[in-house]
Structure 1
Amino acid sequence: MALSNVVIIGAGICGLSTAISLHKLGVPFTIYEIRSEPSTIGGAVNLTPSALRYLDALDVLPELEQKGYPVRSIELFSIYTQKKFAELSFDNMPRYGFRAMRVLRKDLLNSLLNRLEKLGSHVRYGMRMSSINEDIQGGDTAKIRFEDGSVDRAGLIIGCDGIHSIVRTAYVQPSRKPIYTGLAAAYGLLPTSDIKSPIHFQDTSVNTSQSGSLIASYCTADKASMYFTALMQIESPTDTSRQGWRVRGADQESLRSDILARFKDGGIPCLKEMAEKVGELCLYPVNKLEPNGVWGKGRVVLLGDAAHAMPPQGESTGFAIEDAILFAHVLSKRAHLPVSDGAVTSDSLPIPDLITHYIELRRPKMEAAFKEADFRWETGKDGGWLAFKMKELLTPWFLWWYRGKWEKEFGEEGDVRNTEV
């Protein structure tokens, strides 16, 4: 039987990328979002060359290029010496075809929404999923129930609802909960014109110290806005829920004072100015999901952070978009798609088997990425002077060691649409 309806839970970056990918295949879908309107949560995200390649394939990049700031490299500085000790370059157009981009998350989300609406599809907002039930007699659809009492049926359910995924906790693997890494990000935006001291970086900087790191980056095409983040080791509040973190973040004076105290020995004047002048700071705990989790069950699959949330490493947003692209690629090759597409093949797989196949293809890369991200974040916790200097010394060697891997992944040869399925 042809795949006649897909339900996507979550209208974030992963969910919208998935929806546009399905539209390209001619697969009918409905996308549900728990919030009452598009989310504005989040600061500025880094998009790697591969992420931009996929957004270009989704016809989203032309609009996004008018909003985001191109990143030729991420420069790493010591706050104490003010010297650059390492650099991750994206400036290889002949091989990559794209550079990187720093863009406000809301601008990326709106660009995806605009593309989806141009295709004639819309998000159903204010829909909180309550349960999923599959026909134990081997039926070809699953039932999704929402808290308002409405019900939908689908041959495939895709959970793109983030690290706190209801699809995962209500059905796929209820025991798999987010884990706080011990590090939190306090981020905000400010006008570039507010900074009177010389700005020491070209596009994006990571400024390291014993007590965490400060990230500063242009994030709009006109360079008018600056994105500022302090990554710090912070004890979790007594109330460990998201509300508990919001309460702690609401004390703006204490949060700003903490940042200034942690980095007071830094000798880069513009960073001190940013910490003093940045607008409202949002405090965000960095959580993760333990690896080797369950990503699919029956006719339900998890994509993006719902499946493999890891500490941010500059590629997390790209991984979510890549999930959508790869899953659509698997569908195009191994699923019973609508006959009008002429895509039904003799080696088509039943949906549960197709989900298993996708997971087998995707898991090795994501597990390796998790280990790499987890290692980097563990070394980012507060440490002594010797540990800091060792990190500063070894980072250039680490980037050199991984350069070949990243060059392959960022180039055409790393495109998941070339994956043999």
Structure 2
Amino acid sequence: MEASVEDIVIVGAGIAGLATSLGLHRLGIRSLVLESSDCLRVTGFAFTTWNNAWKALDALGVADSLRQQHQQIHGMVVTSTTSRQPPSEKSLKSEGKYGEPEIRCVRRKLLLEAMARELPIGTIKYSSKVVSIEESGYFKLVHLADGSILKTKVLIGCDGVNSVAAKWLGFKKPAFAGRSAIRGFSDFKCSHGLEPIFLEFLGDGVKSGFLPCDDQTVYWFFSWRPSSQDKELESNPAEMKQFVLSMLNNLPDKVKTVLENTALDSIISSPLRYRHPWEVLWGNITKGNVCVAGDALHPMTPDLGQGGCSALEDGVVLARCIAEALTKTRQRKVGETAAGELDKDEFRMIETGLNNFAKERRWRSFELISTAYVVGFMQESKGKIMTFLRDKIFSAFLVGLLIKRAEFDCGKLIIS
């Protein structure tokens, strides 16, 4: 079968993939996004967006519409369910490096739809599962499950924790963190009555959190260290719901109401996986004209709320690096190379652009993965000493740590 030729192929229409494609589009560069599902995937329901995410969304030109649909979170309350310590209450209105923190819980569906709407028709190709990658001179051949082949100058893997591109680059499968998470989304017919506050509950090896998205919807999560008997929960939403309710029966009634109101098709369970941080430092984020971004690059535990935020950062930085490389190539070779060709000089410029992306994102990814793992370990550890440290010391510093890791500016979509 003859391969069709594309300048840039992005594998995965998740947050990182769509952000990269939209960033390229804003800079006048076309890309093709391959999505294995037959529609946009909204697994996870919602995620916390911190300052760094909003800077990326502003750069992509979709922030204002999302702000109108999601209320701002003004504070965080961390409560121990196993001690008599009073809750740790922190305002999220204090001034940081980039001014007052902006935190909202954004519905994943609305974010993906907002980015997809801004892309030219035909940019996303659904039901396109990538099964292998092959080299063909300076090009990469992308083999799809339906037997078709794409030939591309640039290949970007944004295909999640089971990334085909990451495997091609030599990354190992992400490691199991020893914890699992049940996530849910509760949609009320009228107001849920919760304040715009991030409520987090810690104790006895488990953690749960509740974040309003707007006046009628609440996103919640529950994470714990599962036993072998808990395996069956992953495929049974009804049992998941009852399990969480039984584990959190001492929470305030208004919070338990959120769990009780959650529809069964709005509950999922998944193991928490992360990439060992030293792999990001020493591994191949990019090789030639192939690179990875988002969860394909830096899967992390959700304890910082930075998985989706850092994927948005990746998209802006990667689009800028690729655009700079391709713009220089086009300026240098106007009229010299026929469409669809790729010579050594152009390949080297693309390689340099992707290497620049890797340099910008390597330490940032290392920092986020490492911090998220440590925060999760502290919050879900058992024992008198760890409980004392968590309740007396760590909880007081948690909000400041979360804000600190969000004090990052990925920059504008401007090329030099």
Q: TM-score, normalised by structure 1?
A: 0.82
Match of 2:309 among 306, 318, 322: 318
Match of 1:262 among 247, 254, 260: 247
**For this pair of structures, how many residues does the alignment match?**
394
Q: Distance in 2 between matches of 1:385 and 1:273?
A: 31
Aligned to 1:219: 213
Secondary structure, in 3 states, of the residue corresponding to 1:230?
strand
Instruction: Give CA deviations for 1:36-73 in whole Å, capped at 9, x if unaligned.
Output: 11113212111112211211221112222232222223
Change in CA separation of 1:209 and 1:375 when aligned onto 2, cut-off 3 Å: same
Instruction: Give CA deviations for 1:188-238 in whole Å, capped at 9, x if unaligned.
Output: 222446898x74x53321121223122111113xx1112222122213679
Alpha-carbon deviation of 1:399?
3.8
Q: Distance in 2 between matches of 1:69 and 1:381?
A: 29
Q: Distance in 1 between matches of 2:399 and 2:102?
A: 19
Q: Is the 8 A contact 1:60 1:112 kept in 2?
A: yes
Q: Distance in 2 between matches of 1:88 and 1:165?
A: 38
Moved more, 94-103 or 363-372: 94-103
Q: Distance in 2 between matches of 1:97 and 1:402?
A: 15
1:110 counterpart = 2:113: yes
Q: Distance in 2 between matches of 1:4 and 1:258?
A: 48
Q: Distance in 2 between matches of 1:124 and 1:69?
A: 33
Q: What one-letter code is carried by the residue in structure 2 that aligns with 1:32?
A: L
Alpha-carbon deviation of 1:419?
11
Q: Distance in 2 between matches of 1:30 and 1:194?
A: 41
Q: Distance in 1 between matches of 2:411 and 2:41?
A: 28
Match of 1:303 among 256, 279, 293: 293
Aligned to 1:10: 12
Aligned to 1:72: 74
Alpha-carbon deviation of 1:20?
0.6
Q: Is the 8 A contact 2:275 2:299 kept in 1?
A: yes
1:346-361 to 2 correspondence within 5 Å? 350-361=349-360
Match of 2:225 among 233, 247, 252: 233
Alpha-carbon deviation of 1:300?
0.6
Q: What one-letter code is carried by the residue in structure 2 that aligns with 1:272?
A: K
Q: What one-letter code is carried by the residue in structure 2 that aligns with 1:316?
A: G
Secondary structure, in 3 states, of the residue corresponding to 1:71?
coil
1:290 counterpart = 2:251: no
Aligned to 2:397: 398
1:137-156 to 2 correspondence within 5 Å? 139-156=137-154
Alpha-carbon deviation of 1:382?
4.5
Q: Is the 8 A contact 1:183 1:232 kept in 2?
A: yes
Alpha-carbon deviation of 1:21?
0.7
Q: Is the 8 A contact 1:304 1:323 kept in 2?
A: yes
Secondary structure, in 3 states, of the residue corresponding to 1:350?
helix
Moved more, 33-42 or 277-286: 277-286
Match of 2:87 among 84, 95, 99: 84
Percent same amino acid at aligned positions? Answer: 21
Aligned to 1:208: 202
Q: Distance in 1 between matches of 2:143 and 2:251?
A: 56
Q: Distance in 1 between matches of 2:390 and 2:97?
A: 32
Q: Distance in 2 between matches of 1:351 and 1:40?
A: 32
Q: Distance in 1 between matches of 2:366 and 2:11?
A: 24
Q: Distance in 1 between matches of 2:59 and 2:140?
A: 31
Aligned to 2:377: 378
Match of 1:19 among 18, 21, 26: 21
1:32 counterpart = 2:18: no
Instruction: Give CA deviations for 1:266-317 in whole Å, capped at 9, x if unaligned.
Output: 3523233333332222112111122224322221100011011111121111
Q: Distance in 2 between matches of 1:404 and 1:249?
A: 32
Q: Distance in 2 between matches of 1:270 and 1:401?
A: 27
Change in CA separation of 1:82 and 1:371 when aligned onto 2, cut-off 3 Å: same
Q: Distance in 2 between matches of 1:28 and 1:419?
A: 16
Aligned to 1:57: 59
Moved more, 268-277 or 355-364: 268-277
Aligned to 2:260: 276
Instruction: Give CA deviations for 1:245-284 in whole Å, capped at 9, x if unaligned.
Output: 6x533334433333233333x3523233333332222112
Change in CA separation of 1:256 and 1:180 when aligned onto 2, cut-off 3 Å: same
Gaps of 5+ in 1: 239-244
Gaps of 5+ in 2: 335-344
Q: Is the 8 A contact 1:6 1:155 kept in 2?
A: yes
